[in-house]
Amino acid sequence: MSDVTAERWVRRSQDQNWVTRLLDWKPFLVVMCLLPAVGILTIFLTYPLGLGIWLAFTDTTIGRSGVWVGLENFEYMMEDPIFWNAVFFSVFYTGIATIAKFGLGLWLALLLNNHLPFKSFLRAIILLPWIVPTVLTAIAFWWIYNPQFSIISWVFIELGLRTTNIDFINTAWPARWSLIGANVWRGIPFVAISLLAGLQTISPSLYEAALLDGSTGWQRFRYITFPMLLPILAIVMTFSIIFTFTDFQLVYAITRGGPVNSTQLLATLAFQRGISGGQLGEGAAIAVAMLPFLIFATLFSYFALARRKWQQGESND
């Protein structure tokens, strides 16, 4: 009987129609399951990105579809001092703000990692600047930096320390530093809370062992905290650099790229040319010019900070 049954079973298996066989075929199933995700990514990510890159090679304006002009937009950009100024300020803004945010953020995280009274409450408060919508931050700073109504100027004048208003955003360099200040204020909580999470994953036994060996505080930081924190530092720094480099709202709301374009970031300049000025092609070209910087920043964070073998589960050399 069993022979017969086996025979029948084999025969039925051969009878399976093509749909069933297709669904049993693993590569097909993989494709089917991935399709929705790939579709969404294509429509909402690849297409807009591709369209943006395509626009950079055309002379499209708002109100008129353009024609292919090759590298013309980029050639103009290369000789446009306003573009180079935006490149300079974007890099400067990102560089200085990131260093400041990480310095102060790490310090804050180390402080918060100690046993303090009202620890949870303090940690929640630290997050406030990050929670406030950026536009509100920007408006607040716009008032703080206002050339006539700045509260800081007012305090200094009332105390008799100055007779004139402080120049925050009326000339190029003060405006640049003021914007960096606003960005740092807003960015510290993200860094501090992320690094605090990283600090708490470090096993206390490492510190205990180090204490028994008679280590100093600096040595514990240098040889335990810092290396253990590096992986999360790399991730947080990558995010932070991307957020800062592509910042738009703070600059647009506080200075609108002024005085005389000295605080244009690539993002605000792209908007200014593309949307306000209506030159979608030129605006897209400026936006595309941001890509190499972002790719470089990402690769730098990964290769410079996160290439230790133990991070991939192997032992350190």
Contact residues for other proteins (CB under 8 A)?
A: 61-65, 76, 81-82, 145-150, 153, 164-165, 167, 169-172, 175, 255-262, 272-273, 276-279
Shortest Å distance, C-beta 198 to other proteins: 39
Closest distance between other proteins and the C-beta of residue 116, in Å?
40
Taking the least distance from each CB to other proteins, the nearer of 129 and 258 is: 258
Query: Least distance to other proteins from the beta carbon of 170, Å?
Result: 4
Nearest distance, CB of residue 286 and other proteins, angstroms:
13
Residue 101: partners with Cβ closer than 8 Å, 6 or more residues away: 183, 184, 187, 188, 190, 191, 240, 244
Instruction: Choose between 198 and 283: whose C-beta lies nearer to other proteins.
Output: 283
Nearer to other proteins, 236 or 289 (CB): 289
- Hey, is 145 helix, strand or coil? coil
Minimum separation from the CB atom of position 65 to other proteins (A): 7
- Please name the residues in contact with 188: beta carbons below 8 A apart, sequence gap of 6 or more: 101, 104, 105, 108, 126, 129
* Minimum distance of other proteins from residue 152's CB (angstroms): 12
The residue among 168 and 190 lying less far from other proteins, judged by its C-beta, is 168
Nearer to other proteins, 196 or 250 (CB): 250
What's the rounded Cα separation, in Å, for the pair 142 and 137?
8
DSSP string for residues in 88-134:
HHHHHHHHHHHHHHHHHHHHHHHHHTS--TTHHHHHHHHTHHHHS-H
By C-beta, is 70 or 204 nearer to other proteins?
A: 70
CB of 135 to other proteins, least distance (A): 14
Q: Name, in order, each residue with C-beta under 8 angstroms of 19's C-beta and a sequence gap of 6 or more.
A: none
Shortest CB 120 distance to other proteins, Å: 41
Residue 82's Cβ-count burial label (10 Å; 0-12, 13-18, 19+) is: middle
Please identify, using beta-carbon distances, which residue of 81 and 160 lies nearer to other proteins: 81
User: What token pair was written down for 195?
Assistant: 């690094």
Compute CA distances 313 → 93, 98, 223, whole Å. 36, 29, 19
Sign of the torsion formed by the C-alpha atoms of 8, 10, 15 and 20: positive
Distance, CA of 255 to CA of 253 (rounded, Å): 6
3-state helix, strand, coil in the chain (%, to 5): 75, 0, 25
Considering the complex, state which of residue 107 and residue 177 has its C-beta at the smaller distance from other proteins.
Answer: 177
- One-letter amino acid identity for 158? E
68 forms beta bridges with: 58
SS3 category, 71? coil
